[in-house]
Amino acid sequence: MPLKQIDFSFDDDSTPENETKESVKQHIKPKSKRGRKSLKEYNAEPDVTSVPADEVLFQKQYYSIGNVASMFKENTSLIRYWEKEFSILKPKKNKKGDRFFRPEDIKNLKMIYHLLRERKYTIEGAKEFIKNNKAAGEKHEMIEALEKVKLFLIELKNNL
């Protein structure tokens, strides 16, 4: 007498018993990727920072940590961590302990964001880069200007 395998299905009974492997795979959720994104994923995404232009940025004297975190689309805890790690970030604090970032601090944060997220430096590597390159801020501004020109030319090419 041949043995039969008993199948216990806890899903709804509307699924046929002779499902193919492909249809079973469709019901399985893909694994979530935790941790760092790959370079392909970062390059595929558009620039995620929404830091305003200098004219708009320098209209206000101070920005709260929540505003700064929303500009970079990062958590406030990460901004506080970067403040602790990088000596070039010196936000003002009131008696309550709230942090208020000046436009200069935001420009430094933009450079740190560029080094860590776009160029994939480690924290220690970014510290060394900033320490060894006194004109790192000027280089970063030049890179931003060239990226704006590149985006303009790509948009011009697409419109032709």
pLDDT tens digit sequence for 22-77: 555 555 656 656 666 666 665 565 556 777 777 788 888 999 999 998 888 888 89
Q: Is residue 148 part of a domain?
A: yes
| Cα–Cα distance measured from residue 49 to residue 31, given in angstroms and rounded to the nearest whole number | 27
Expressed as residue numbers, the domain containing 152 is: 48-159
Q: What's the pLDDT score for residue 34?
A: 60
Quick check: is 145 in a domain? yes
- Residue 49: exposure state from Cβ atoms within 10 A (0-12, 13-18, ≥19): middle
The CATH number of residue 100's host domain is 1.10.1660.10
Looking at the structure of the chain, the number of domains it has is 1
Question: Looking at the predicted structure, is the pLDDT value of residue 17 above 80?
Answer: no
Q: Convert the pLDDT of each residue in 93-134 to its tens digit.
A: 999 999 999 999 998 898 899 889 888 899 999 999 888 887
**Is the pLDDT reported for residue 91 higher than 80?**
yes
